[in-house]
């Protein structure tokens, strides 16, 4: 939609081919239905991909340009600590703004029109689309088919097949911004717990452990593993490591606000504050420290039972029990599937497009959005990439069409 709008604003004739019965279906699901369309806290460091190339792209169409464009189109913007949304808090508002703008710029929209093949005439350099949706030929084509994430919204990876057919190399797609499945048997017992936690993702080999990523935020424990924003943020790194057959673990710190020593000291003081003659159980002692389900799990993992008197427990055992609060190790078996993922890591290799996002293999072919091997952190960065890359591809494709003598709209 952004690519079409940017091309049409240059005055060329533009057609969108959309396989669904409406455009922009995925937008409606973004930001929990509110569409977190960008973020004022912006840096290329929040993206994976060729950052030098990305820097060039974002300098051409930035977060500020996005806000300006939507505001100029009549949409009020809400800023929640830097996270940007339509003022209405409805993703459908942003989609409606696009629909109005596309109509105003006379963009033709062909719905229920899945493109199966793209053919470029070697002599004329023009493109035809199959199945033969229209007999027209096009000066330029922009592939903006998304990746493989959330295939129900239309992006089922068919764009990657089109790119491959046209001779493009693909960085293997893996799910990103997704939950992680763990092989530990205790997850059913702690499912439903939500808490602030610090997470350290590591790859292990023998006794060696290498830290891959650290995150902090609200962790959600499910019956199959771990979820929540900090997990989403590290999921693409975990998925890549798993793809390379590495052993992947996450250490969970359930008390990230306290150093381990301070926590041990706190527990010693808590213990001393009760009379040793008191018949206090471990369960009672742990009350007030962690979530009840977690307290029970950690007692079990330390081979103790909840009813044991706390003053009879050996120091070493208690230390082991308390260690779980600071460094519970969970084993990652897999990232959840593309059905659950918000984005795709991987796609058309950025080395195979120039700074205008034009294919270096097929002049006249452009790429935008998740089709390219670019993915960002959670927080509006993936949509910002869609806007930036769409804008550039649209402008450049229009320029190409104009240079080849296509009559512009009056
Ligand atoms: C649940 C969810 C929540 C998200 N929340 C956010 C958020 O709040 N902020 C954020 O920045 N990002 C968010 N994202 C990610 C963001 O939505 C995507 O990165 C972005 O939509 C990618 O844009 P795109 O244009 O590349 O692809 P898409 O939005 O996937 O659009 C591709 C379009 O191409 C069509 N298509 C595919 N193949 C063909 C074909 N062969 N022929 C014709 N049409 C085809 C599809 O039907 C689809 O309409 C979220 C994603 C999901 C799934």
Question: Per residue in 350-409, pLDDT tens?
Answer: 999 999 999 999 999 999 999 999 999 999 999 999 999 999 999 999 999 898 875 444
Instruction: Give the domain ranges of the chain.
Output: 2-176+340-403, 179-336
Q: What is the CATH number of domain 2-176+340-403?
A: 3.50.50.60
Cα separation values, 205 from 201, 209, 235, 238, 353, Å: 14, 6, 19, 15, 37
Backbone angles phi, psi at 225, to 5 degrees: 165, -140
The mean of the pLDDT values for the chain is 95
Atom 13 in ligand 1: residue holding the nearest Cα: 30
Report how far ligand 1's centroid is from the alpha carbon of 240 (Å).
21
Containing 163, the helix (H) or strand (E) segment is helix 158-165
Sign of the Cα torsion 98, 102, 104, 110 reads negative
pLDDT in the model for residue 130: 86
Q: pLDDT at position 133, please?
A: 63
For a substitution probing ligand 1, which of 30, 134, 178 has the most ligand atoms within 8 Å of its CB?
30
Q: Which parts of the chain register pLDDT below 70?
A: 132-134, 406-410
Residues sharing a CB contact under 8 Å with residue 163, sequence separation 6 or more, in sequence order: 143, 170, 348, 367, 371
Token representation of residue 309: 């008197």
Predicted pLDDT at 305:
94
Mutation test residue for ligand 1: of 1, 113, 152, 155, the one with most atoms within 8 Å of CB: 155
Distance from Cα 191 to the centre of ligand 1, integer Å: 30
Cα(27) to ligand 1 centroid in Å equals 7
Taking CA atoms only, the protein residue closest to ligand 1 atom 36 is 145
Model pTM above 0.85: yes
Predicted local confidence at residue 132, as pLDDT: 67
**Half-sphere exposure for 366 (CA within 13 Å, toward CB):** 27
* Other beta carbons within 10 Å of 23: 19
pLDDT at residue 134, rounded to an integer: 65
pLDDT value of residue 131: 81
Q: Which of 146, 148, 236 has most ligand 1 atoms within 8 Å of CB, for mutation?
A: 146
Give the Å distance between the CA of 339 and the centre of ligand 1. Answer: 13
Nearest atom within ligand 1 for CA of residue 384 = 11
Predicted confidence at residue 409, as pLDDT, reads 43
- pLDDT of res. 145: 98
pLDDT value for 410: 35
Give, as one character, the DSSP assignment of residue 138. B
**Residues in the ligand 1 pocket, defined by CB under 6 Å:** 17-20, 25-26, 29-31, 35-36, 114-115, 144-146, 149-150, 153-155, 158-159, 342-343, 369-370, 380-383, 386
Burial 271-303 (b: 16+ CB within 10 A, else e): eeeeeeeeebebbebbeebbeeebbbbbbeebe
């Amino acid at each position: 939609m952004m690519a079409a709008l940017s091309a049409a604003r240059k005055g060329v004739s533009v057609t969108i081919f959309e396989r669904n019965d409406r455009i922009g279906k995925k937008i409606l699901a973004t930001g929990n239905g509110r569409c977190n369309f960008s973020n004022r806290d912006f840096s290329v460091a929040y993206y994976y991909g060729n950052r030098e190339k990305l820097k060039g792209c974002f300098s051409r169409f930035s977060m500020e340009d996005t806000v300006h464009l939507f505001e100029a189109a009549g949409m009020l913007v809400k800023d929640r600590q830097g996270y940007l949304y339509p003022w209405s808090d409805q993703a459908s508002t942003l989609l409606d703004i696009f629909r109005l703008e596309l109509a105003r710029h006379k963009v033709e929209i062909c719905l229920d029109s899945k493109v199966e093949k793209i053919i470029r005439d070697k002599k004329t350099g023009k493109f035809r689309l199959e199945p033969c949706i229209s007999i027209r030929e096009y000066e330029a084509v922009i592939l903006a088919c998304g990746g493989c994430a959330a295939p129900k919204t239309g992006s089922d990876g068919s764009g990657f097949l089109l790119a491959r057919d046209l001779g493009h190399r693909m960085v293997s797609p893996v799910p990103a911004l997704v939950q992680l499945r763990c092989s530990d048997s205790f997850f059913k017992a702690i499912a439903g717990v939500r808490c602030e936690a610090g997470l350290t993702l590591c790859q292990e080999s023998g006794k060696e452990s290498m830290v891959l990523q650290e995150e902090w935020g609200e962790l959600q424990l499910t019956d199959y593993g771990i979820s929540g924003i900090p997990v989403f943020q590290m999921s693409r790194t975990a998925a890549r490591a798993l793809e390379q057959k590495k052993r992947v673990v996450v250490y969970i710190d359930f008390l990230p606000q306290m150093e381990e020593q301070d926590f041990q000291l706190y527990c010693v003081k808590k213990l001393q504050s009760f009379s040793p003659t008191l018949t206090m159980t471990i369960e009672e002692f742990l009350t007030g420290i962690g979530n009840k389900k977690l307290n029970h799990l950690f007692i079990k993992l330390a081979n103790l039972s909840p009813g044991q008197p706390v003053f009879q427990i050996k120091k070493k055992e208690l230390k082991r029990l308390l260690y779980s609060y600071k460094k519970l190790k969970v084993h990652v078996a897999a990232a959840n599937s593309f059905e659950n993922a918000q984005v795709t890591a991987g796609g058309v290799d950025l080395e195979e497009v120039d700074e205008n996002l034009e294919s270096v293999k097929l002049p006249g072919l452009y790429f935008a959005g998740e089709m390219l091997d670019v993915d960002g952190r959670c927080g509006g960065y993936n949509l910002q990439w869609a806007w930036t890359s769409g804008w550039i591809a649209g402008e450049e494709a229009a320029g190409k069409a104009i240079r080849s003598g296509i009559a512009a709209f009056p």
